Amino acid sequence: MPYLLVFLVAVIVALSVAVVVLWRRTQRVALGLDEITEDTLKALYHLSRQELLIQPRALVRAANLQPGRYALIASELTRRRWAEAEGDALRITRSGERRALELIRAHRLWERYLADKEGLALDALHDEAMRREHLATPEEIDALERELGHPRFDPHGDPIPSREGELPAEQGVSLADWPLRRVGRIVHVEDEPPALFAQLALIGLTRGAQVEVDERAAGRVLVWSGGQRLSLTPAAAASIAVIDAPPERTPLSEIEIGQAARVADIGESPALRARAEAAGLRVGAELAAVSADPLGDPVTYRVNGRTLTLARADANQILLDANTIREIALPRRPWLAEELARAKELFLRYGSLAVLKRALVFFGPAFVISVGYMDPGNWGTDIEGGARFGYRLLWVIFVANLMAILLQILAAKLGIATGKSLPEVCRDHYPRWASVALWVTAELAAMATDLAEFLGGAVGFNLLFGIPLFPAALLTGAVISLILLLERYGFRKVEMVIIGLIAVIGFGYMAEILLAKPPLDEMIRGLLVPSLPIGATLVAVGIIGATVMPHNLYLHSALIQTRVRPSDSLERKRRVYRLAVADSLVALNGAFFVNAAILVMSASAFAGGKLAEYSLESAYHTLTPLLGPLASVAFALALLASGLASSTTATMAGQVIMEGFIHHKINVWLRRLVTMLPTLVIIGLNIDPLQILVLSQVSLSFQLPFAVVPLVLFTSNPTIMGPFANGRVIKALAWAATATILGLNVVLLYQTLVP
């Protein structure tokens, strides 16, 4: 009997445990369903502010639902009378609106609490607030509101509904609709979807940040904020609300290292106010930016002898008196030592990948330009020079490259100092008729050059795949159009593609040199010992005359503006200029090695009359029996990459030329079509491609004085350039290079046009 009693007690206990476990599991399932239903209700409320009937696809996307669960959630919404079904669509009811506003109120108050009391980062608020909003009672939410002092907005700038369901009036205009070149201040950033908000917070676009829309195009909005030029999708721009920024106030995040200003407001966050007070920061105190993390965020400030380190999201909240911003003296080292020390610190903290990423942020404009120095038009003179005179003209390529580097650096400096491209500066300082005349000559030269480069791409397809020239030209146009299409997703994408094509050219000629095995001593002698064999004058003039291209000067002065803006401080402009010099040295010396490799390959493979004629097709077909099929494939692949990359940049330069000289812009696809048609006509008429390459160099020679002379004049003028004006040494070198290039181009024109 006792055993039976023990057994019955054990059974009862086991059943009780099972009931409790099953009840708790049921509660968890019900709670999960409640959470999902309420989160979906909030999404339905937000969507209903734009339209009454919400389709399933829109609600699934907004609430991040699994499509298979939509029917269950929709039935739950209608069961609770929060929504009414009309076919597949849902319409929110009055009771649904009230419940949605209760949830939104709880969510935004929790976000305010988590930011102010617990110090959570902005991008971490959303998920934690979502967890807590479902667990708190209305009485607890009322107590939370009283504790926070009845705030009107959450940390993102979203208005917090009252207990009666009333919303404060929302402020601001969508950044997607904000006027160009107008300075604004962010008052609100949508925190849903959370992934988009986290990305915006990462780049510093949080409440309080200052923004200025620089450019708006299909698929992207380019804005300046915190000294950075940022590319946003239209959806990201639409999630940001902006108001006019008071000119007498500027966020702390806008001042640069080496600047100081007086504090006008510390913001409304109690956590930030407590940190500021502990550091001795009060309204009226002077705050100086003294150093920054190697990645730029956070920044360390000095106030009353103490230091305060702030992330950019916090710095956005502190307002400065714009009239008190001034430069301060900081301990300085030579700029090269400073950059090396910064790179070392970056490497030690974040690793080599971070160093590479930071370098790539500024490297780009000169690499885009460098393809013009290795375009198909240069190949003809390099191949002829190597085949006829061996390695003895390597020094000519080297000298031409030095002059090109100098002029490209001057073009970049003009863009940094003035905030305008070379054509725009010409338009500002020359009469209208002169600007129009310069535009016509520049357009003709750019189109002729683009024609040759486009033809080079078509010849590359023809040699590599055996495609006839006419369909190869159509294929070239399609590929170039696809590359230009990437600009919708940010110009950086185009830069990366062009740098990739440059890498193809470099690796192609690296393979050529390895197969050709040129004698090192002769190469060094040709590079370091100037000599001009009998009959080499015309080829040497062609090499130098074809090196500096006017459309590259126009384009470089425009592209560098993606790294700096006119309102930036002098110190930042100087730093961007130093990085632009490094960019130009690396990129254009890379172009020098490619041109030298073409001449070396030609000298090694074709010297001694092995080349029947000096053309691209002849060089390709001659390489196979001399060095094997791999050499000819590498040659054709490099030619194809050269044609595609240089034709892309020529199209971009055409846009800069037209917009700069006459302040007019046409669709890039129309420009691409216009430059394709002459090439198709020439191929249809069976004109020798080599003649087209010669024509392109002649057209460049005509245009060159109209680009180089104004460039040197403008960059030597202190009124235009300010502290960036050329010094005596640079001015002398620039005029010497200009005189040399122009004189040799006159010789080239004479030799080409006079029998």
Residue 114 sits in a domain whose CATH number is 1.10.60.10
| The domain boundary residue, chosen from 650, 668, 683 | 683
438 and 579 assigned to the same domain: yes
Give the confidence band of 410 by pLDDT, cuts at 50, 70, 90. very high
Residue 522's Cβ-count burial label (10 Å; 0-12, 13-18, 19+) is: middle
Per the rule left: phi > 0, alpha: psi between -120 and 50, beta: everything else, 748 is: alpha
What mean pLDDT comes out for the span 446-463? 76
Distance CA 276, CA 260 (A): 16
Q: Is residue 31 over pLDDT 50?
A: no
pLDDT at 12: 53
Domain that holds residue 143: 97-148
Give the pLDDT confidence of 151-192 residue by residue, as tens digits. Answer: 877 777 777 888 777 766 666 788 888 888 888 888 888 776
**Which has the closest alpha carbon to 256: 229, 291, 223, 303?**
291
**Which has the closest alpha carbon to 239: 130, 131, 157?**
157
268 and 215 assigned to the same domain: no
What mean pLDDT comes out for the span 321-334? 79
In a domain, 613, yes or no: yes
Q: Structure pTM? A: 0.69
Residue pair 707/556 in contact (Cβ under 8 Å)? The answer is: no
Cα angle 417, 419, 425; round to 5: 90
Distance CA 657, CA 56 (A): 49
pLDDT at 43: 81
In a domain, 333, yes or no: no
Instruction: Report which of residues 442 and 21 the model is more confident about.
Output: 442
Instruction: Report which of residues 361 and 740 the model is more confident about.
Output: 740
Q: Is residue 491 over pLDDT 70?
A: no
Which is it for strands 249-251 and 240-244: parallel, antiparallel or unpaired? unpaired
Count of domains observed in the chain: 4
| Range in 49-63, 192-206, 666-680 the model is least confident about | 666-680
515 and 369 assigned to the same domain: yes
In a domain, 588, yes or no: yes
Distance CA 226, CA 208 (A): 11
pLDDT at 690: 59
Share of the chain above pLDDT 90, in %: 2
pLDDT at 22: 45
Q: Is residue 28 over pLDDT 50?
A: no
Residue 237 sits in a domain whose CATH number is 2.30.30.90
H-helix or E-strand containing 280? none
| The domain boundary residue, chosen from 277, 306, 327 | 327
Residue pair 565/256 in contact (Cβ under 8 Å)? The answer is: no
In a domain, 230, yes or no: yes
In a domain, 664, yes or no: yes
| Positive/negative CA dihedral, 728, 734, 735, 740 | positive
| The domain boundary residue, chosen from 637, 668, 683 | 683
562 and 533 assigned to the same domain: yes
Q: Is residue 29 over pLDDT 50?
A: no
The winner for highest mean pLDDT among 193-197, 202-206, 486-490, 697-701 is 202-206
419 and 484 assigned to the same domain: yes
Name the phi and psi angles at 688, rounded to 5. -60, 125
Give the confidence band of 352 by pLDDT, cuts at 50, 70, 90. low
Give the confidence band of 510 by pLDDT, cuts at 50, 70, 90. confident
In a domain, 87, yes or no: no
User: Residue 570: how many CB atoms within 10 A of its CB?
Assistant: 14
pLDDT at 291: 79
390 and 520 assigned to the same domain: yes
415 and 528 assigned to the same domain: yes
Query: What value does the mean pLDDT of the chain take?
Result: 77
389 and 415 assigned to the same domain: yes
In a domain, 478, yes or no: yes
Amino acid symbol at 526? G
649 and 535 assigned to the same domain: yes
Q: Any idea what DSSP says for residue 652?
A: H
Residue 513 sits in a domain whose CATH number is 1.10.4160.10
What mean pLDDT comes out for the span 719-744? 87
Rg, the chain, Cα only: 33
Residue pair 211/225 in contact (Cβ under 8 Å)? The answer is: yes
Name the phi and psi angles at 267, rounded to 5. 85, 180
Distance CA 253, CA 233 (A): 23
Distance CA 333, CA 560 (A): 25
| Range in 104-108, 413-417, 534-538 the model is least confident about | 534-538
Q: What is the largest CA-CA distance in the chain?
A: 129
User: Residue 578: how many CB atoms within 10 A of its CB?
Assistant: 15
Per the rule left: phi > 0, alpha: psi between -120 and 50, beta: everything else, 366 is: alpha
Residue pair 254/321 in contact (Cβ under 8 Å)? The answer is: no
pLDDT at 348: 64
**Which has the closest alpha carbon to 314: 382, 266, 371, 370?**
266
First to last CA, the chain: 129
In a domain, 545, yes or no: yes
Distance CA 684, CA 376 (A): 20
226 and 287 assigned to the same domain: no
C-alpha torsion angle, residues 644, 649, 655, 657 (rounded to 10): -130
- Alpha carbon 283 to chain centroid distance? 37
User: Residue 490: how many CB atoms within 10 A of its CB?
Assistant: 19
Q: Is residue 580 over pLDDT 80?
A: yes
Give the pLDDT confidence of 362-391 residue by residue, as tens digits. Answer: 566 777 787 777 777 677 777 777 777 888
381 and 510 assigned to the same domain: yes
Q: Is residue 103 over pLDDT 80?
A: yes
Token pair of 172, please? 């601001």
310 and 438 assigned to the same domain: no
3-class DSSP assignment, residue 107: helix
